[in-house]
Amino acid sequence: MKHLNVLKVITLFSAIIFLQTFSATGAKAYTACTFNSDNQITNDMSSLGNCNADPTHRKVLAYKVGLCTELPYPTNYKKVCEFIYDETTPIELEAIKNTSVNVPGFGTPTLTEGTEYTHTVLLISTTTYVKSLFSFPSNRQGASGTGQWCWTNGGGTTTKDRTADPLKLKSNFTVECGSESEANPQYNYETQNAFGSAIEGEDKPALERDFPNWAEKESYTNRGWSNELMSDEDTKAVFDVSADWSNPSTNSVYWLAGRPINPSVFVDGNTSKIDLQFLVSYGSVVHYSGVSNTGAGEGDWHTDCDTTTPCVGRIRIGGFDVNVGIE
């Protein structure tokens, strides 16, 4: 066994996003927000819409962090992965845009000398967090204020919440708006009780969201993402009632997330350091509306929401990626 003397966890801005967040009725794929030269979001908000944007912060609570020799799933991850963190108390991994930080608490990890690692695994809480601050060319409405700046206000949501038309009440907004000097971003939370099905055209909740052949670039050797909900560290979650959006509640406690390492890392007798890179881009989803009556299936918004001053009602979680480098 090779004992690595230094482990540094880095939080970086990344150009990768592949997870999707979910609307009240099903899985939605989101496109990137558009920005002008002043870094203001310029999407037309005269109707109901949403877009991905980089948050200032993204945070997960990890019970296990590991390097794997193949794509991990609930059935194999304890066999194909070696853990550099494995505790009943989670470690906080916080990504801060354009910032690198050391994360204490990992200790000295042990990996097997002569091993090539192709994937990472995180066993995290199903509740994850995002903090964001955005500006716009003109005023937007938040929970109680109006202004060109909008930010996460510390609210949240869960995919099992079936409340009808929640955004008809501004008290349910997870966004506040005002002036730049008033901005006070707080972490919004989201509890992932179910994923949207990864099967194209299938609009229903799922316990897994796996893409075993996906890679950001065609040149990547290592491919595949896995996302699995688990009731404990050994058991896949199950639905409480049925797999439809009327009641998508599950007994999930953990989210098992597998990600490819590109390029692979090889541990040999000279290895002295691991850089575990928790990468976030387009890690938040901005939900907005310039109309109060949005149409069937989408849920109505507050009557103040109009084309003159659209509402920004929710900022929800987007995606994250993980990569590894060694020296």
**Model pLDDT, residue 99:** 81
| Whether the predicted pLDDT of 5 surpasses 50 | no
304 φ, ψ (degrees, to nearest 5): -75, -20
* pLDDT at residue 198, rounded to an integer: 84
pLDDT at 166: 92
Residue type present at position 166: P
Global confidence as pTM = 0.88
Q: Which is more confidently placed, 253 or 158? A: 253
Mean pLDDT over each residue of the chain, to the nearest integer: 87
The predicted-structure confidence for 169-220, as pLDDT tens digits, reads as follows 999 999 999 999 999 999 999 999 998 888 888 888 999 999 999 887 889 9
Q: Is 40 helix (H, G, I), strand (E, B) or coil?
A: strand
Q: Is the pLDDT of residue 242 over 50?
A: yes
Q: 202 versus 230: which is more confidently predicted?
A: 230
DSSP-derived pairing of the beta strands 110-111 and 2-3: antiparallel
Higher pLDDT, 25 or 318: 318
pLDDT of residue 3: 47
pLDDT score, position 98: 82
Grade residue 63 by pLDDT with cuts at 50, 70 and 90: very high
* CB-based contacts of 90-93 (< 8 A; 24+ apart in sequence): 90/61, 90/62, 90/63, 90/124, 90/125, 91/61, 91/62, 91/65, 92/59, 92/60, 92/61, 92/62, 93/9, 93/11, 93/59, 93/60, 93/61, 93/62, 93/65, 93/122, 93/278
The predicted model gives 251-255 an average pLDDT of 97
- Higher-confidence residue: 26 or 321? 321
**How many Å apart are CA 130 and CA 21, to the nearest integer?**
12
Structural domain that includes position 91 = 2-326
Q: Is the pLDDT at 30 greater than 50, yes or no? A: yes
Confidence label for 139 from pLDDT (cuts 50, 70 and 90): very high
DSSP H helix total and E strand total for the chain: 1, 22
Nearest Cα to 251, choosing from 242, 235, 238?
Answer: 238
Bridge-based pairing state of the strands 188-191 and 156-158: parallel
| pLDDT exceeds 60 at position 296 | no
Interval 250-258 mean pLDDT? 96
* One-letter amino acid for residue 326 of the chain: I
- List the one residue out of 57, 59, 50 whose CA is nearest residue 13: 57
Under a CB-based contact definition with an 8 Å cutoff, are residues 288 and 313 in contact? yes
* 222 has a pLDDT exceeding 50: yes
> Residue 297: its pLDDT value, please?
64
Give the H or E element holding residue 79: helix 77-80
Reference 27, options 300, 227, 323; nearest CA is 227
pLDDT band at 71 (very low <50, low <70, confident <90, very high): very high
Residue 298, pLDDT above cutoff 60: yes
> Of the candidates 66, 63, 62, which has an alpha carbon nearest to the alpha carbon of residue 109?
66
Ramachandran region, residue 105 (left: φ > 0; alpha: ψ -120 to 50; beta: rest): left
Total domain count, the chain: 1
| 28, 20 Cβ separation under 8 angstroms | yes
The span from the CA of 24 to the CA of 165, in Å, is 9
Cα dist from 107 to 5, 85, 91, 118, 306, whole Å: 9, 8, 12, 22, 53
Burial class (CB in 10 A: 0-12, 13-18, 19+), 138: exposed
For position 292, what pLDDT does the model report?
A: 94
Is residue 41 pLDDT above 70, yes or no?
Answer: yes
State how far Cα 19 lies from the chain centre: 7
Q: Which of 193, 209, 216 is nearest to 257 (CA)?
A: 209
pLDDT range class, residue 114, cuts 50, 70, 90? very high
